[in-house]
Amino acid sequence: MSVIVVGSMAFDDIETPFGKSDKIIGGAAAILLMLLPTLRSL
């Protein structure tokens, strides 16, 4: 099965009451790429 992913990817800076992280990969395409291994098993 082939998949074409179209979406955004960016580096995000996140700050919460629990801490701060810089240059975290974010965006719709990044989330989908992380989920693909799970979706392949369905």
pLDDT tens digits, residue range 1-42?
Answer: 677 888 888 898 999 999 999 998 888 888 888 888 887 776
Instruction: Let me know if residue 41 belongs to a domain.
Output: no
CB–CB of 26/11 below 8 Å?
Answer: yes
Determine the structural domain holding residue 24 and report its residue range.
1-36
Total tally of structural domains belonging to the chain? 1
Between CA 17 and CA 30 the distance in angstroms is 24
| DSSP code at position 33 | H
Instruction: Let me know if residue 28 belongs to a domain.
Output: yes
Quote the pLDDT of residue 13. Answer: 93
Instruction: Let me know if residue 42 belongs to a domain.
Output: no
C-alpha 18 chain-centroid distance: 21
What is the model's pTM?
0.51
Residue in this structure with the two tokens 């580096």, named with its chain if needed: 11
Quote the pLDDT of residue 42. Answer: 65
- Tokens linked to 14: 């996140």
Going through the chain in order, the beta strands assigned E by DSSP cover: 10-16, 19-26
Quote the pLDDT of residue 16. Answer: 95
Quote the pLDDT of residue 33. Answer: 84
